[in-house]
Chains A and B, each alone.
Chain A
Amino acid sequence: MSGSAAEGECDLTPMLDMVFQLITFFMLVSNFKAAAIDMSLKLPVVGSARPVETKGQEKFLMLNIDKAGDLKVYGVSKDIPNYIAGEAFGVRRANPELGPKDELPVTVVIRADRATPFKLLNVVIKSCQDNGFLKYALRAKDKAE
């Protein structure tokens, strides 16, 4: 038979402190924007790649392109012309002062697999250019893994 509650009680306070500290840590380091990044892609290595600046940056459109030329958004394959046209339409609707041929104030971030042939990549770039996206950031690693 167990004794009274006071006898076999352990102090949970330090454990609770530690758990809350861990939760705080994970909350601070969790980046839900990273979900837009397809981690399976092997990016090329480019020495002149600059660290990604996020301060004061305008909006961006993240495009993950695998080596078969498929565009993936949050892991789902999309039809390239339709998706980019839809995004451009959304940007124009949010900025009604823009003319039909004006440059869109959005940077297209291209994360393409290092083995993607240019002809497949060019489909994406051309589609973006046709819809008014002119600023690009080509993602790469600055050193080999």
Chain B
Amino acid sequence: MSRKKKKHRGGDDVKLNLAAMLDMAFQLLTFFIFTFKPPAVEGQVSLKLPPPQIVATQKADQQAGSNNNNQALAAGVETLTITVTATLGGSIDHMAVGDGGVSTLPQLEQRLKVILQDPVKPFEQVIIQVGPQLRYEALMSVIDVCTRQTFSDGKPLTKISFVEIPEG
């Protein structure tokens, strides 16, 4: 087989001036270096936050539980209320699940586990009553405990509402 030999010309015949391309390439490089910001690694807690609804209605001059003839179940009875008050510095002062106080987050988790896993009294959502000064970080620690909970049917708790406790 014969191989065609390419005829090499002298190097100075065709010359490509790369300087302009190199200039442009360096400009592009500079732009990307200056605009480059490595994104911080972030996570997220996904929630469904329906607007808080009235859990029970009461007449203006009526004491709660005073009507013994009322056999109807209160609307919104499937809602569990957690109360979190804040210190002046914005950290957690006091917590309560329903009427029962809890002093630490592990205790809160324990209490929620017992209540939400109970198939006799099923809850659908949680309302967190929050002190106005409570810092977001402290609130997130409570939300963290809540989102780790599951109901007795195995579904995770994602329906959470917030209500601000009035100041004073």
Contacts and interface: CB of A to CB of B under 8 A. Distances in A.
Interface of A: 6, 12-13, 15-16, 19-20, 22-23, 26-27, 29-31, 34, 37, 39, 43-52, 107, 109, 111-119, 121-122, 125-126, 129-130, 134-142
Most chain-B Cβ atoms within 10 A of its Cβ — which of A111, A114, A118, A119? A118
A118 B136 contact: yes
Contact of B162 (A114, A125, A141): A125
Interface string B85-110: 01000100000000000000000000
Contacts of A137: 44-47
Interface of B: 11-12, 18-19, 21-22, 25-26, 28-29, 32-33, 35-51, 86, 90, 130-137, 139-141, 143-144, 147-148, 162, 164, 167
A139 B29 contact: no
B45 A121 contact: no
Contacts of B45: 46, 48-50, 137-138, 140
A117 B139 CA distance: 9
A118 B39 contact: no
A46 B135 contact: no
Given A114-B135, A118-B139, 18 more contacts: A6-B11, A23-B29, A30-B36, A44-B140, A49-B42, A49-B43, A52-B44, A107-B46, A111-B42, A115-B136, A116-B135, A116-B136, A117-B132, A117-B136, A119-B132, A122-B130, A129-B50, A140-B45
Contacts, number: 151
A-side binding surface: helix, strand, loop or mixed?
Answer: mixed
Given A26-B29, A34-B37, A114 B49 contact: no
A134 B136 contact: no
A98 to B, nearest CB: 17
Contacts of A109: 44
Nearest to B86: A118
Contacts of A111: 42
Contacts of B18: 12-13, 16
A55 to B, nearest CB: 14
Contacts of B136: 44, 112-118, 121
A50 B162 contact: no
Contacts of A50: 43-46
Nearest to B26: A19
Top 5 closest pairs, chain A to chain B, by CB: A49-B43, A26-B32, A119-B132, A114-B137, A44-B137
